[in-house]
Amino acid sequence: MTESEYVRRIRSGASGKPVFFVFHGTGGNENQFFEFGSQLLPDATVVAPRGDVSENGASRFFKRTAEAIYDMEDLQRATSKMVAFVNDIAQAQQASVIIGLGFSNGANILANVLIQEGVFDASVLMHPLIPFRPAPNPALAGRRILITAGKRDPISPVALTLALETYFSKQNASVSTAWHSGGHEIQSNEVDAIRAFLHPYL
């Protein structure tokens, strides 16, 4: 593999349809959301990379030193690599729209790509955790973002979820948040919110 490649699954979609990248959580792999992504956008090209970092055998997209404490140097490496990967595939597929969906660690790499480079026209961040203050990015103006979260999530605290929502709003992105009453699990109202958010790209 080259420096911008990942182990991944890919399903080519119809001409003129979006390219849809789906990012797994810690311990997941390229299969975790591949079928889900295919169901959400049946005509899109679906791309599911596997994180290239192993944490005690669990795949992740970047290193951390403890829960909610990120290796910021490795996060930068991973973000640069993911930007190149997404752009290479989107160009090869002649993507009309670039869409991302990520859960937990997958949401975090997707969020940091947005924060630094934009890239994605529409993004679904499921239970993200950004425990630092992002720098402003005017390139986020007009981009569509859905955050889904649990009000009792011990991994992605409410305060940090709200701070991320506020950050994207201040960059003039179109951001909304769908909450459920539970923790770090995916619940049915999240899926309903995701389907509604992605409906314009069917």
Residues paired with 116 in a beta bridge? none
Q: Are residues 53 and 31 in contact, defined by beta-carbon separation less than 8 angstroms?
A: no
Residue 128, helix vs strand vs coil: coil
Q: Distance (Å, rounded) from C-alpha 117 to C-alpha 115?
A: 6
Minimal CA–CA distance to 134: which of 108, 98, 95?
108
Phi first, then psi, for residue 103 (nearest 5°) are: -115, 130
Angle at 195 between CA 168 and CA 199, to 5 degrees: 85
φ, ψ of residue 71 to 5 degrees: the values are -80, 95
| Residue 202 and residue 129 in contact, taking contact as beta carbons nearer than 8 Å | no
Given its phi and psi angles, is residue 27 left (phi above 0), alpha (psi -120 to 50 degrees) or beta? left
Catalytic residue IDs: 104, 153, 184
